[in-house]
Structure 1
């Protein structure tokens, strides 16, 4: 499909969108891959409300502790979440709100379909 044929630009072709540097695109791809599992999406939705410990995520999501821990490692490696030790527990929280918006928008889009 040629999007320029449907353009509302009265002067001709639409200029190409600027392309970020390759490193930025690769980093964005890593983040999106980290968010690509249903359990990880659910974890991000839980962490939007407040920081949570592993046992709280286990209880809220109804999955095993090893599975939650595995998904948290992936999210942490991608820079989506960070963990702060508090005694014997680690409190996990989102690194920033941008990631929550990505997940909320994806969920909203899926619910519209």
Structure 2
């Protein structure tokens, strides 16, 4: 096997590692972890997240933008409000496991 084909075959794992790194970077905030923890139980509106997490609405909205950009959450308009939900339950498992591990 020559170097070029070896490098090409290694591209897949590196891409996967980069995607995992991007996911972890998007989760690297106590507020974002809290949002994901709450959304693991089902969709929530911004005002619900503000009340549960005890932080300001602009701060929650800022963190939701990061999570949306990373495709961790999606927004669904319901009348005048927007409900947020997880796009993938696997992310909830990662976050909940990390929280449990930190509590041990």
TM-score (norm 1): 0.79
Specify the alignment match of 1:80 in structure 2. Answer: 72
Partner Cα distance (2:20, 2:71) in 1:
11
Name the structure where helix makes up a greater proportion of residues: 2
Specify the alignment match of 1:52 in structure 2. Answer: 44
Partner Cα distance (1:92, 1:69) in 2:
11
Unaligned ranges ≥5, structure 1: 1-17
Within-5 A mapping of 1:59-78: 59-78=51-70
Give 1:19 deviation, angstroms.
8.7
Within-5 A mapping of 1:33-52: 33-52=25-44
Mark the structure with the bigger radius of gyration. Answer: 1
Residue 99 (str. 1) matches residue 91 (str. 2): yes
Unaligned ranges ≥5, structure 2: 1-9
TM-score (norm 2): 0.85
Specify the alignment match of 2:20 in structure 1. Answer: 28
Within-5 A mapping of 1:7-22: 20-22=12-14
- Count of residues paired in the alignment: 95
Residue 90 (str. 1) matches residue 68 (str. 2): no
